Amino acid sequence: MAHFTKATSVHDWLNQRLGIDTVRRVMATEYWIPKNINFLWAMGMVLAITFGLLLVSGIFLLMYYQPNVATAFDSVNYTIMREVEFGWLWRHIHGVAASVVFLIIYIHMFTGIYYGSYKKGREMIWISGMLLFVAFSAEAFSGYMLPWGQMSYWAGMVITNLFAGGSLHADGLVEWIRGDYVPAQAFLNRFFMLHVLLIPLAILGLIGLHFGALRIPHVNNQDGEEIDFEAEAAKYKAGDKKGSKVIAFVNDFMSKDMMVVGFYLIFFFYLVFFHYDFAMDPVNFDPANGLKTPAHIYPEWYFLWSYEILRPFSTDIGLIAFAFAQVIFVLLPFLDRSPNTVPASRRGLFKYWFWAMLVDMIVLTAMGKLPPEGIFSTIGLYAALTFIGLWIILPFITKSEKKA
């Protein structure tokens, strides 16, 4: 048994039992971050804060929401919005955060792609990040079911039908997922469970893995420079803070991180108070009706690009293209054959690949929102083919890339 002495303070008492000084050192004051970074490196913290906002607002919504097909719609649109004091605040925070979290995820992702932060030992950071993207997508979808409006119902119908696998015609699987022939009580109840328990648990676990994966390779920097963290940390600890290439996570980096978070929160609450409507589809303010499809069914903006990859093709090819789009980003560290870990601007053809991919995804997003007719159908088709083509050529253009 360890030897305990009479504590000299509360801090000492806790330190003897929990080693709080060691925890603080390992997690914060001696966790090293490169100096050569910019505001885009704050997106991780912005995401963590947004997840916190979702969790807190979700807890309050959970106290009044009723997962029942007869009462769900009113429990949201009447009870929470009109009766509960500040109920509107929790709902608008939850709705806006669910939308904005994807904007930040995309920025975070494309920052990683631009700076090559998925290579040289950082592969697990990328993979765990993409798993988080999948988990957040499932969380967003299951949450979208809960108000039980027209868009909830029909998005639920369309998305669960994807599991029939086109010509495989696996209707049994679809009915198993729904617990009914159509989305109904069993469906609403189980997606409620997924939204408030199972998927959040998975997200928490994955966040732990994502942070853990960062520990050994450390955060990348603006030049993709390989930093000897131990040597630089020693310099910092010896007092040469100016000469060292690294700073401590707390307080040095954190103070800048929270500055960005501050700007973000002003933007975020501006949306919550004045522009919450962008995250609230008007069609979903009609109660679910299984006998009437809305004129246009489209997903929330953050799913539009992958929806547009599904849409221009016949069922089976569309499903294959859709499945391809869902998984292909995970494979990025293995499809990029170049050993260069530098910004895309210094990487020859990859520079054009990066911007072409970004623009193509924006085009897909825009076309996904427009009705599938005439010129929009054609543009959508070519944008979908471009997306697939870009991934096919990636290994070839990166293989021939010169050493930077």
Partner 1 sequence: MKDISRRGFMGKAFGAVAGVGAVASLYAMKKSWDPLPSVKAAGFTTLDMSDYKDNELVTEKWRGKPIFVLKQNAEMVETAKKNPKDMERLIKVGESYYMICVGLCTHLGCIPGYNPEEKSFLCACHGGMYDATALVTKAPPPRGLDIPPFKIDGTKMVLGEEGPEYKKMLESGVTLKV
By CB under 8 A, name the binding residues for partner 1: 154, 157-158, 161-162, 166-167, 169, 171, 175-182, 184, 186, 190, 290-297, 311, 313-316, 318, 371-373, 377
What does the H/E/C string look like for 263-307?
Answer: HHHHHHHHHHHHCHHHHCCHHHHCECCCCCCCCCCCCCHHHHHHH
Cα–Cα distance, 156 to 188 (Å, whole number): 9
Rounded to the nearest 5 percent, the helix, strand and coil shares of the chain are: 70, 0, 25
Looking at beta carbons only, is 131 or 184 nearer to partner 1?
Answer: 184
CB of residue 255 to partner 1, shortest distance in Å: 48
CB of residue 140 to partner 1, shortest distance in Å: 19
CB of residue 159 to partner 1, shortest distance in Å: 8
Cα–Cα distance, 27 to 29 (Å, whole number): 7
CB of residue 240 to partner 1, shortest distance in Å: 53
Looking at beta carbons only, is 40 or 320 nearer to partner 1?
Answer: 320
CB of residue 285 to partner 1, shortest distance in Å: 19
CB of residue 48 to partner 1, shortest distance in Å: 32
The DSSP symbol for 154 reads H
Cα–Cα distance, 306 to 149 (Å, whole number): 23
Looking at beta carbons only, is 367 or 397 nearer to partner 1?
Answer: 367
Token duo for residue 90: 């929790």
Place of tokens 């980003």: 329
Looking at beta carbons only, is 47 or 157 nearer to partner 1?
Answer: 157
Looking at beta carbons only, is 125 or 177 nearer to partner 1?
Answer: 177
Looking at beta carbons only, is 136 or 154 nearer to partner 1?
Answer: 154
Write the DSSP string, 318-345.
HHHHHHHHHHHGGGHHHH------S-GG
Looking at beta carbons only, is 190 or 241 nearer to partner 1?
Answer: 190
Looking at beta carbons only, is 318 or 343 nearer to partner 1?
Answer: 318
Question: What torsion do the CA atoms of 90, 92, 97, 100 make, to the nearest 10 degrees?
Answer: -170
Contacts with 87 (C-beta within 8 Å, 6 or more apart), sequence order: 60, 61, 64, 79, 80, 81
Contact present, 92 and 333 (Cβ < 8 Å): no
Cα–Cα distance, 105 to 329 (Å, whole number): 13
CB of residue 157 to partner 1, shortest distance in Å: 5
Looking at beta carbons only, is 21 or 316 nearer to partner 1?
Answer: 316
Nearest of 147, 182, 150 to residue 75 by alpha carbon: 147
Nearest of 331, 292, 295, 325 to residue 311 by alpha carbon: 325
CB of residue 300 to partner 1, shortest distance in Å: 16
The SS3 of residue 348 is coil
CB of residue 67 to partner 1, shortest distance in Å: 16
